[in-house]
């Protein structure tokens, strides 16, 4: 599975006002681990920064003056992204700017290329409804270290979002992208590999004498028992009435002289 965390920095908040992309940062994950094959470019915007945008990114027009324009890196970028799941936090913002840049070059929209897009902000809102789900808020909630994030930078934010994404989807034990698992101190466990057997599965047929012995055994098990017919028949003992119930036993009675009552004598 190949995933790419993407982030952009721009000259302002709205692409509709003519703002441009000035930085693109991407972090590649292979099987949820960083491959080290990242993509990072600064871009010359050919427009001014909006008020406050420079303070957020720390970038200046002087720094970007000798950087390539978007048209010079678009083929390299789209080839890098091809076939991947692209993870973006608040994807509508970044996609709006990417589509505007592609439209200037007469190219299809970002999502019309051979890739898929997942918005991690929507994922976070489903998991934490009613709470702040900015990148900084998620770092604090999930224990992701972002103390080195003094300014907004596309590559730095993509690296932080990679940690946040792992925490969102599979727990904090994977944060940090441990590349080498600590050796176990317990006893060694043998690993058995069950390779598929080529060809038709073997068939084992019973010998004639085995079939005959099996038939005799079944006949014996299905034969009615001679005792089964009288198992539930009540027994009759001497002196017992029908159904085996004993007859009532008379108790001798002695009348006391001069009294109006009788004293019962129990048997024995």
Phi-psi bin for 243: left (phi > 0), alpha (psi -120 to 50), beta? left
Instruction: Record the tokens describing residue 249, joined without a space.
Output: 């036993």
Pairing of strands 85-88, 2-10: parallel
Catalytic residue among 40, 89, 148, 152: 152
148 as an active site residue: the answer is no
Query: Of 73, 64, 85, 1, which is closest to residue 39 (Cα–Cα)?
Result: 73
Cα 186 off chain centre by: 28
Q: Which two tokens stand for residue 40?
A: 């990072």
Best CA proximity match to 5, nearest among 172, 166, 233: 166
3-state secondary structure of 235: coil
DSSP string across 160-193:
HHHHHHHHHHH-GGGTT--SSPPPP-S-------
Q: Who contacts 50 (Cβ-Cβ below 8 Å, separation ≥6)?
A: 11, 12, 13, 17, 19
Residue closest to 174 by CA, chosen among 133, 196, 143, 204 = 143
Q: Which stretches of the chain are assigned E, i.e. beta strand?
A: 2-10, 21-30, 33-34, 39-42, 85-88, 116-119, 253-255, 262-264
The residues annotated with a catalytic role in the active site are 152
């Amino acid at each position: 599975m190949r995933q790419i965390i993407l982030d952009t920095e721009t000259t302002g908040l709205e692409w509709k006002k003519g703002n441009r992309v000035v930085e693109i940062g991407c972090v590649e994950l292979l099987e949820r681990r960083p491959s080290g094959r990242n993509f990072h470019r600064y871009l010359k915007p050919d427009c001014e920064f909006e008020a406050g945008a420079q303070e957020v990114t720390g970038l200046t027009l002087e720094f970007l003056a000798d950087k390539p324009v978007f048209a010079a890196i678009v083929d390299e970028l789209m080839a890098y992204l091809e076939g991947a799941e692209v993870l973006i936090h608040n994807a509508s913002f970044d996609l709006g700017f990417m589509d505007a840049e592609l439209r200037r070059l007469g190219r299809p929209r970002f999502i019309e290329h051979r890739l898929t897009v997942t918005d991690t902000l929507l994922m976070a809102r489903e998991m934490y409804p009613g709470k702040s789900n900015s990148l900084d808020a998620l770092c604090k909630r999930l224990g992701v270290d972002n103390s080195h994030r003094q300014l907004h930078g596309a590559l730095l934010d993509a690296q932080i979002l990679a940690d946040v994404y792992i925490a969102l989807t599979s727990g904090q034990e994977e944060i940090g992208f441990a590349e080498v698992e600590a050796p176990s101190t317990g006893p060694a466990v043998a690993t058995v590999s069950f390779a598929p057997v080529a060809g038709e599965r073997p068939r084992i047929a019973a010998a004639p004498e085995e079939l005959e012995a099996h038939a005799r055994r079944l006949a014996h098990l299905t034969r009615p028992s001679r005792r089964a017919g009288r198992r539930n028949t009540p027994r009759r003992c001497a002196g017992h009435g029908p159904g085996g119930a004993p007859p009532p036993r008379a108790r001798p009675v002695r009348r006391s002289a001069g009294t109006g009552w009788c004293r019962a004598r129990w048997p024995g």
